[in-house]
């Protein structure tokens, strides 16, 4: 077991061209990924997109069909799972039913003959606020408690890389927020590398240094949470992280700084070249609902502003701080606008004919306009 060492800090993980085929089905396709040492990396994606499969390959529980896994520069693709300094918080918890909570948490420490296993395990239980159930068995705990035990059982080993497969999914909102803070603290204190899989985009955005959005076995886009939100590259990402309005169109002309995109209905939209992931052919223009303004009647277009006119308000919901409008633009589909109620109360009513506008530099150009299927993911 020479390969296993208690790490004082995290290690860099690199996936090179990782692929996993199941009979007649590709679960993970040619995945490239680097997670820096000590980074909090969130993997986000709809159900069945291959997140768990990716984690299992990194943990050594599944052999990749192709590709390499490097941990701290060392190729561990063929290293046995029990020799990898990697621990997993399993989506299904996988607690040992025949052992007490304490023994569950101490399991990894005992296997490596760590001398102060007892103190470490108790400290880990304290961390997840479960020291009082140390003598119980997993079947005697609630789902959320079991999940926290699973977390303690993995963290106590201080692995070079911690894999978390939706570790907070079963917790109520308050506890989830507490655990998020706790996790983030542990990660920062010990400097562990975290690979955190989640369905919850807010969790990913608030906790992670880097977010990767996965879809159909490949990574659509990754980057810092702010830049992912500000500048999504595909319609899938635009829809999966927050809400977006997307207008399909064709690039009609472009100069050095701006692309013009013709959309159905004779309107032309502009998007900065620097904010577009495609510059010719099919280009969709997207914009976040809170970056848009709503106007009664028609508005004259300007060079620095995109305007779409002739929509009919189909829904207004007043939430206090802001109002949310649903506007039907016929062939362009439905557009959602959030307006803060800074000064006056809502000025447009249900059934009004309105225009929407946004600053050109607030929009983004997408290289596809596939209607994103995220139903499964939003069921949580």
Partner 1 sequence: MAFAAFADTSEKKSAEPVKKSRVVILMLLPGLAYLLLFFLAPLVSLILTSFMAPDPNSMDMGQFVYSFQWQNYVTVISENWSFFVRSFGFAILATVIALIVSYPIAYFIGVYARPWPAIQAFALILVIAPFFISFLLRTLAWKQLLGDDGWVVTTLKSASLLPADGHITGTAFSVVFGLTYNFIPFMVLPIYTSLERLDMRLLEAGRDLYASPSTTFWKVTLPLSMPGVVAGTLLTFIPASGDFVNASSSFLGGPGTQMVGNQIASNFLKILDYPAASVLSVVLMAVIMVIVSVYVRRAGTEELL
Ligand X SMILES: Nc1ncnc2c1ncn2[C@@H]1O[C@H](COP(=O)(O)OP(=O)(O)OP(=O)(O)O)[C@@H](O)[C@H]1O
By the criterion CB under 6 A, which residues form the site for ligand X?
22, 25, 27, 45, 47-53, 91
- Cβ proximity to ligand X: between 45 and 365 the closer is 45
Query: Which residue, 45 or 108, is less far from ligand X as judged by CB?
Result: 45
| Residue 93 Ramachandran class (φ > 0 left, ψ -120 to 50 alpha, else beta) | left
Whether the CB-CB separation of 59 and 39 falls below 8 Å is answered with: no
**Least distance from Mg ion to the Cβ atom of residue 271, Å:** 35
Residue by residue, DSSP assigns 84-152 as: SSEEEE-TT----TTS-HHHHHHHHHHHTT-TTHHHHHHHHHHHTT-GGGTTS-GGGS-HHHHHHHHHH
How far apart (Å, rounded) are the C-alpha atoms in residues 283 and 13?
A: 34
Considering only residues 88 to 117 of the shown chain, the ones binding Mg ion according to CB under 5 A are 91
Q: Which is nearer to partner 1, 153 or 196 (CB)?
A: 153
Closer residue to Mg ion, CB minimum distance, 52 or 180: 52
* CA gap 91, 31 in Å, rounded: 21
Counting contacts by CB under 5 A, is residue 54 touching Mg ion? no
Provide the strand spans (E) within 293-372.
293-296, 305-318, 322-328, 334-340, 353-359, 364-366
Query: Any residues with CB less than 8 A from the CB of 202 and at least 6 apart, and which?
Result: none
Give least dist CB 29 to ligand X, A. Answer: 11
Count of C-beta atoms within a 10 Å radius of residue 332: 20
Residue 107 binds: one of ligand X, partner 1, Mg ion, none (C-beta under 5 to 8 A by kind): partner 1
CA 306/CA 38 separation, integer angstroms = 42
Output 90 or 247, the one with its CB closest to partner 1: 90
Does 306 help bind Mg ion (rule: CB under 5 A)? no
337 binds, among Mg ion, ligand X, partner 1, none (CB under 5 to 8 A by kind): none
Which of ligand X, Mg ion, partner 1, none does residue 1 bind (CB under 5 to 8 Å by kind)? partner 1
**Which residues from 61-90 bind partner 1, rule CB under 8 A?**
61, 80-83, 86-88, 90
CB of 196 to partner 1, least distance (A): 16
Of the residues 20, 153, 248, 270, which one makes contact with partner 1 according to CB under 8 A: 153
Q: 10 Å Cβ neighbour count for 143? A: 11
Residue 27's binding partner out of partner 1, Mg ion, ligand X, none, with CB under 5 to 8 Å set by partner kind: ligand X
Nearest approach in angstroms of CB 161 to partner 1 is 12
Position 52 contacts Mg ion (CB under 5 A): yes
Nearest to 236 by CA among 12, 45, 63: 45
Rounded Cα distance, 220 and 301, in Å: 34
Rounded to an integer, what distance in angstroms lies between the CA atom of residue 205 and that of residue 207?
6
**Which of the residues 103 through 132 are near partner 1 (CB under 8 A)?**
107-108, 111-112
Stretch that binds partner 1, among 37-45, 94-102, 115-123, 206-214 (CB under 8 A): 94-102
> Can you give the binding site for Mg ion, defined by CB under 5 A?
52, 91
């Amino acid at each position: 077991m020479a390969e296993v060492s208690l790490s004082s800090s995290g290690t860099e993980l690199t996936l090179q061209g990782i692929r996993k085929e199941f009979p007649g089905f590709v679960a993970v396709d040619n995945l490239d990924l680097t997670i820096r040492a000590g980074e909090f990396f969130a993997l986000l994606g709809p159900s069945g997109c291959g997140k768990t499969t990716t984690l299992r390959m990194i943990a050594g529980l599944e052999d990749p069909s192709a590709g390499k896994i490097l941990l701290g520069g060392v190729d561990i693709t063929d290293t046995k799972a029990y020799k990898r300094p990697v621990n997993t918080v399993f989506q299904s918890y996988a607690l040992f039913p025949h052992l007490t909570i304490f023994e569950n948490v101490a399991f990894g420490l005992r296997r490596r003959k760590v001398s102060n296993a007892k103190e470490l395990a108790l400290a880990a239980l304290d961390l997840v606020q479960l020291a009082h159930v140390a003598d119980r068995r997993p079947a005697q705990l609630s789902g959320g408690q079991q999940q926290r035990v699973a977390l303690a059982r993995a963290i106590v080993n201080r692995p070079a890389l911690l894999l978390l497969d939706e570790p907070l999914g079963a917790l109520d909102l308050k506890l989830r927020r507490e655990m998020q803070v706790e996790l983030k603290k542990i990660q920062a204190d010990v400097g562990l590398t975290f690979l955190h899989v989640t369905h919850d985009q807010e969790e990913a955005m608030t906790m992670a240094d880097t977010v990767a959005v996965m879809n159909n076995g490949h990574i659509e886009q990754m980057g810092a949470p702010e830049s992912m939100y500000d500048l999504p590259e595909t319609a899938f990402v635009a829809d999966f992280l927050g809400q977006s309005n997307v207008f399909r169109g064709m690039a009609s002309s472009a100069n050095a700084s701006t692309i013009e995109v013709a959309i159905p209905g004779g309107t032309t939209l502009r998007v900065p070249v620097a904010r577009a992931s495609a510059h010719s052919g099919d280009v969709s223009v997207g914009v976040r609902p809170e970056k848009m303004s709503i106007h009664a009647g028609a508005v004259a277009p300007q060079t620095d502003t995109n305007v779409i006119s002739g929509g009919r308000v189909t829904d207004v919901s007043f939430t206090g701080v802001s109002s949310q409008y649903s506007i039907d633009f016929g062939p362009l589909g439905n557009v959602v606008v959030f307006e803060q109620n800074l000064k006056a109360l809502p000025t447009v009513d249900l059934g009004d004919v309105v225009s929407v506008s946004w600053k050109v530099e607030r929009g983004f150009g997408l290289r596809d306009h596939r209607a994103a299927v995220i139903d499964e993911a939003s069921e949580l």
